[in-house]
Amino acid sequence: MRGLMMETPLLVSSIIRHATLNHGDTEIVSRDASGATHRYTYADAYRRSSQLANALTRAGVREGDTIATMAWNDYRHFEAYYGISGIGAVCHTINPRLFHEQIAYIINHAEDAYVLFDPGFIEMIERHASGCPIVKGWIAMCERNEMPESSLKNLICYEDFIGGEPEHYDWPVLDENSACGLCYTSGTTGDPKGVLYSHRSTVLHAMTSAMPDAMNLSARDTVMPVSSMFHVMAWGLPYSATMVGAKLVLPGPNLDPESLCQLFVEEAVTITAGVPTIWLGLVAHLQKTGARLGSLKRILIGGAACPKSLIAALEDDYGVEVVHAWGMTETSPIGTLNTMKASHAGLTAAERHEIQAKQGRGVFGVEMKIVDDAGVELARDGVAFGDLLVRGPWICSAYHRLGHVETLRDGWLPTGDVATIDADGYMQITDRSKDVIKSGGEWISSIALENLAVGHPAIREAAVIGIPHPKWSERPLLIVVVNQGESVSRDELLGFFDGKVTKWWKPDDVVFVDELPHTATGKLLKAKLRKDYELFGSRA
Amino acid sequence: MRGLMMETPLLVSSIIRHATLNHGDTEIVSRDASGATHRYTYADAYRRSSQLANALTRAGVREGDTIATMAWNDYRHFEAYYGISGIGAVCHTINPRLFHEQIAYIINHAEDAYVLFDPGFIEMIERHASGCPIVKGWIAMCERNEMPESSLKNLICYEDFIGGEPEHYDWPVLDENSACGLCYTSGTTGDPKGVLYSHRSTVLHAMTSAMPDAMNLSARDTVMPVSSMFHVMAWGLPYSATMVGAKLVLPGPNLDPESLCQLFVEEAVTITAGVPTIWLGLVAHLQKTGARLGSLKRILIGGAACPKSLIAALEDDYGVEVVHAWGMTETSPIGTLNTMKASHAGLTAAERHEIQAKQGRGVFGVEMKIVDDAGVELARDGVAFGDLLVRGPWICSAYHRLGHVETLRDGWLPTGDVATIDADGYMQITDRSKDVIKSGGEWISSIALENLAVGHPAIREAAVIGIPHPKWSERPLLIVVVNQGESVSRDELLGFFDGKVTKWWKPDDVVFVDELPHTATGKLLKAKLRKDYELFGSRA
């Protein structure tokens, strides 16, 4: 028996429409590369998004067409989010930090009809234009007098493009499962894969994100996403902040600590979001300058594990609540957020930070489980660890135009992470699936051993990898860099693990090296280490 | 082009499953008629809901079957919400305060297979049982030793019914549009009409309700719904509080101020919800006894307009935030909630209460408009008033088994209320549609005139009705009760309106009466007045 409720679809256009009707005079503040500030309101943004929708329609863009953006967080990018998706087209945000050859690849793979870009990216656009024959127009997001000098064919000025268009658009009543956004993963191996968000997934993700134990967003907040609108939709904040009618501050390209601090104070920002690197830099700046954070009350930190020391500095020294988050491009991205429960009320700051260093509880709508090699679910006891699988209405079921690639396992998305989940639902990443060491049918966490090794006073950096073993399948090998002027023996270092881990976790051997290989962003290149030391066991 | 997100349906079973996995040890506290307290956890409730699901399945209940409850707010009723809906059956909550003949009518109309009831309602059940031949069993929600003495056939003990059943149930993956709940309107005229909630509408309603500018529900809260689980699902709190993992306090049948105060303090309740009458009684009790409200920080007040004086007393004298709400059985029920915006930060308490006396802003998902007689949308300026229409995913599109009745107007639900909406989206009810006076093609608010009339020192109570007029269609007639020992002339009273309303709003005449007719709940019976004074104009 069907319920007898209205079949109102969940649509992106309903988010900005709601904001306009209820928060029409609330501000959206943007800062550009020069440091100049642009201010307007949700009502203005709604009118200009409607103009963009009319311009795109006039240019022949139809439901299901893909329109790309390559832009910083600013008001024109915001208009693109709503103007493009509102008419049923797909807003494909391009990450300008992708490898160059990948940018042309994804423009062609997505079949972008138009590319809207910040004039600052003109050189990058010029380099790729000839390799992207499908693109009908390159739209520079600026005024006519700000247009970059360029010999690019089909170069269009955004303000000319939308200027003179009607300020009203009858947003179509779309199927809520139709696509509204597209973001390619920025994996370091293989071609990027496109994750195709739907109107339904985007609206549900925004609703859950706004909830008190998630990002806790209100019309009384001022929200500044430092997370990029060109990657995973700035964690959905352009949707969730708009849904609640919060004042929105879009910081543009200048994300140095001084620029951020200035915006926090001048615009009375209450909530912000970004990766740990940004906040490590911010804290160093605060410590050096004695600057303060104005009205800031909460920072959402995700994209990489947030160090406990960063949580402690922000909360204890600057009185800003830290919400540790975990997600992926494939999860829209919010999977978990770390907020406290009533039972934590009596904890000391240090005890609280211990919990906060975990990635957090699955928000409502995201189901998580950890499984062993055979796919058997493991205990939610905070100790057992296994491959982390997730499912829910804003989690990717397949990649764009890669329908033949097996994405799910029994209806669940394997995240590529290895994690524990405790009885309260808090998840903690313990490893990447490809880095975990599988020894005698059991798993050993490479990260846990590395963290122990760097606890030895002589060790500067450590990597633990699994190397092939005829009996145990894999055994852990410890590779270390010793602090300058210090020394430690193989046996002393191995003995350092005694009593700290179960016996069979103890690495079999140690390799002393001068340095460890890293990616450009500072992550250990364990794949290279595994290749280099593949034969270590047989040689030993 | 479809998005590539998982097609995970929004289901009621996912709410309690999420609570169990993340808040398994959080308490649900119930108080029974004797004042005894029962405590258990979400994990316990989940196990017992699963037992109920197994028992119902064993008893032959299938997807789409309807199972009724007639019970106060307590843990067994909570189990019924999840056990019944979880298996795809429909939880039909019966309001024991309906007129007696209506109870048998709705049991038969809904075709309830089983009726779960509090033993305290045994007499009411015995009276109706013979008139309800479809019901296969009457299940008393108690232990065997608490079973009422009764000659009722097919009387079943709830604890026997679920005892011994497995504590696990594989909840089916239902179509999210399938029905999960049924509640009949308690209109005073005509047969009650059934509103059939879906899993989708229930989950979306709970998500929106929990948001910071709505009910603002967190795992750190203790939520006590005084609003009845037998009427409009206690405003959805058994779903929304469970979704966030809040501690839940279910007060049972004793809703007197003393019992409520005791629970507030003993259980450290932070959020509660109910109709104005409850809170008027509470404030009188507090004023008399000097009692305080413990940790209480927020009261949701709806079901009838909340007087400004009540808002002021609760906020200014007791430090409890009031959230004025509006909704109907047909709107699940949350339509509007009145929370402040950033721009209100500098207001005085009195200025804030002025806004809070309005019914509030439409929550995300609820669209509202006001229209004139011709269906033309009126200005959102806080002045123009018209028929209030609403639409959204948790708003009724038709009544159960009344498919032939026209429920919607161009896809919108007419609420039967007349209202203004201001530029910030705040809606204020100014009249019932059937009470508004239509004069010369324009509308006159009967409530506005009544409020003015009782401002005259000699007037105790006033009613304004429209009476037929040959030229203007209707003209307002003022009917008043004068305070004992005071007097006022017709002309003096009519003159009292001069300068306070536009000239043509001024009533044409006054009738002095000893008392005005009321419903059992104290509402003016304007239909009777219109009938009584129908010929007043022609006689005059």
How remote is the C-alpha of B148 from its chain's centroid? 31
Longest dimension (CA), chain B: 77
Q: A107: which 2 tokens?
A: 């423009």
Judged by DSSP in three states, B178 sits in strand
Nearest Cβ partner of A212 from B216, B332, B345? B216
To which residue do tokens 């306090």 refer? Answer: B249
Question: Alpha helix locations (H) across A114-236?
Answer: 122-129, 158-162, 199-210
Measure B249 CA to nearest chain A CA, in Å: 15
Of A21, A63, A391, the CB nearest to B425: A21
Q: Do B6 and A391 touch (CB under 8 A)?
A: yes
Residue B396 in contact with residue B331, Cβ under 8 Å? yes
**How far apart (Å, rounded) are the C-alpha atoms in residues A11 and A174?**
7
> Do A342 and B220 count as a contact with CB atoms less than 8 A apart?
yes
Instruction: Give the pLDDT confidence score for residue A523 in this predicted structure.
Output: 76
Cβ distance A179 to B25 less than 8 Å, yes or no, reads no
Name A380's Cβ contacts closer than 8 Å, sequence gap at least 6.
Answer: A370, A421, A422, A423, A425, B21
Closest partner residue to A3 (CB to CB) among B197, B423, B424 is B197
Q: Please give the C-alpha separations between residue A195 and each of A13, A414, A515, in angstroms, as whole numbers.
A: 20, 15, 36
B391: nearest CB among A8, A23, A341? A8
Phi, psi of B509, rounded to the nearest 5 degrees: -160, 170
Q: Is A294 left (phi over 0), alpha (psi -120 to 50) or beta?
A: left
Q: Which helix (H) or strand (E) holds A200?
A: helix A199-210
Distance from CA of A126 to the nearest CA of B (A): 29
Of B8, B221, B339, the CB nearest to A392: B8
pLDDT digits (tens, 9 = 90+) for B207-264: 999 999 999 999 999 999 999 999 999 999 999 999 999 999 999 999 999 999 999 9
Give A214's contacts in chain B (Cβ within 8 Å). none
The upper half-sphere exposure of residue B142, i.e. CA atoms within 13 Å in the direction of its Cβ, equals 19
pLDDT for position A166:
98
List the single residue in A with minimal CA-CA distance to B214: A218
Q: Which residues contact A415 (CB under 8 A, 6 or more apart)?
A: A328, A330, A331, A335, A387, A388, A389, A390, A433
Kind of pairing, strands A426-432 and A437-439?
A: unpaired
The strand pairing partners of B256, in sequence order, are none
Q: What residues are paired with B301 via a beta bridge?
A: B274, B324
Residues of chain B with C-beta less than 8 angstroms from the C-beta of A213: 218-220, 244-245
CB A375 within 8 A of CB A350: no
The nearest CA of chain B is from the CA of A536 a distance in Å of: 43
Query: What is the distance in angstroms between the Cα of B430 and the nearest Cα belonging to chain A?
Result: 20
Tokens of B289: 């006894």
Nearest CA in chain A to B194: A4
CB–CB of B3 and A196 under 8 A?
Answer: yes
B424: nearest CB among A22, A220, A364: A22
**How far is the alpha carbon of B36 from chain A, nearest alpha carbon, in Å?**
25
Q: Regarding beta strands B90-93 and B179-184, do their DSSP bridges make them parallel or antiparallel, or are they unpaired?
A: parallel
Find the DSSP H helices in A292-411.
Answer: 308-312, 318, 349-356
ipTM: 0.93
Contact of B75 with B43, CB cutoff 8 Å: no
Cβ(A235)–Cβ(A384) below 8 Å = no
Specify the length of chain B in residues.
540
Write the CA distances from B423 to A222, B373, B445, integer angstroms: 21, 22, 20
Q: Give the burial class of A346: count Cβ atoms within 10 A of its Cβ; 0-12 exposed, 13-18 middle, 19 or more buried.
A: exposed
- Closest to A93 (Cα-Cα) out of A113, A70, A114, A111: A70
Write out the two tokens for A399: 């990649």
| Interchain CB distance below 8 Å, B196 and A1 | yes
Q: How far is B393 from chain A (nearest CA, A)?
A: 5
Q: Do A201 and B391 touch (CB under 8 A)?
A: no
B213 and A218 within 8 Å at the Cβ level: the answer is yes
In chain A, residues with a C-beta closer than 8 Å to the C-beta of B216 are 212
Q: How far is A514 from chain B (nearest CA, A)?
A: 45
Task: For residue A236, give the DSSP letter.
Answer: G
Q: Is the pLDDT of residue B189 over 70?
A: no
Residues A504-535: pLDDT tens digits? 999 999 999 999 998 766 678 898 999 999 88
SS3 of residue B213 by DSSP: coil
Chain A residue numbers touching B270 (CB-CB < 8 A): none
Distance of CA B140 to the CA centre of its chain: 26
- Let me know: does B311 contact B357? Beta carbons within 8 Å: yes
Which among A2, A362, A364 has CB closest to B179? A2
- State the alpha helices, DSSP H only, in A97-214: 100-110, 122-129, 158-162, 199-210
Q: In which band, very low, low, confident or very high, does the pLDDT at B187 lie, cut at 50, 70 and 90? A: low
First vs last C-alpha separation in chain B: 69
* Contact state of A213 with B219 under an 8 Å Cβ cutoff: yes
Nearest Cα to Cα of residue B96 among B74, B66, B65, B118: B118
Secondary structure string (H, E, C) spanning B42-75? HHHHHHHHHHHHHHHHHCCCCCCCEEEEECCCCH
Backbone phi, then psi, for A352, in 5-degree steps? -65, -45
Q: Give me the active site residues of A, please.
A: 185, 330, 438, 443
How close is the nearest chain B Cα to the Cα of A397, in Å? 5
Which pLDDT does position A447 carry in this prediction?
87
CA distance B11 to A20: 31
In A, which residues are within 8 Å of B220 by CB distance?
213, 340-342, 345
Contacts of A332 in chain B (CB under 8 A): 5
| Cβ contacts of B411 on chain A, cutoff 8 Å | 6
Which residues of B are part of the catalytic machinery? Answer: 185, 330, 438, 443
Q: Which residues of chain A have pLDDT under 70?
A: 187-189, 520-522, 537-540
Tokens standing for B452? Answer: 């003015």
Residue B520: Cβ within 10 Å count: 7
A312 contacts A349 by C-beta, under 8 angstroms: yes
CA dist B74 and B249 (Å) reads: 8
Is the Cβ pair A339, B219 closer than 8 Å?
yes
* Closest to B82 (Cα-Cα) out of B206, B257, B227, B186: B206
Cross-chain residue pair A364–B18, CB shorter than 8 Å: yes
The backbone torsions φ and ψ at residue A178, rounded to the nearest 5 degrees and listed phi first, read -75, 155
Q: How far is CA A110 from the centre of its chain?
A: 21
The answer to whether the Cβ–Cβ distance between B18 and A219 falls below 8 Å is no
Is A213's CB within 8 Å of B207's CB?
no
Q: Residue A228 and residue A236: Cα distance in Å, rounded?
A: 10
Q: Which helix (H) or strand (E) holds A437?
A: strand A437-439
In the prediction, which pLDDT does B539 show? 47
* Nearest-by-CA chain A residue for B182: A3
Yes or no: say if A309 and A276 are a contact pair by the CB < 8 Å rule. no
pLDDT band at B540 (very low <50, low <70, confident <90, very high): very low
Q: Which residues of chain B have a CB within 8 Å of the CB of A21?
A: 362, 367, 380, 425
Which among A8, A64, A425 has CB closest to B1?
A64
Between chains, do A200 and B398 touch, taking CB under 8 Å as contact? no
Residue B537 confidence (pLDDT): 66
Counting every residue written for chain A, the total comes to 540
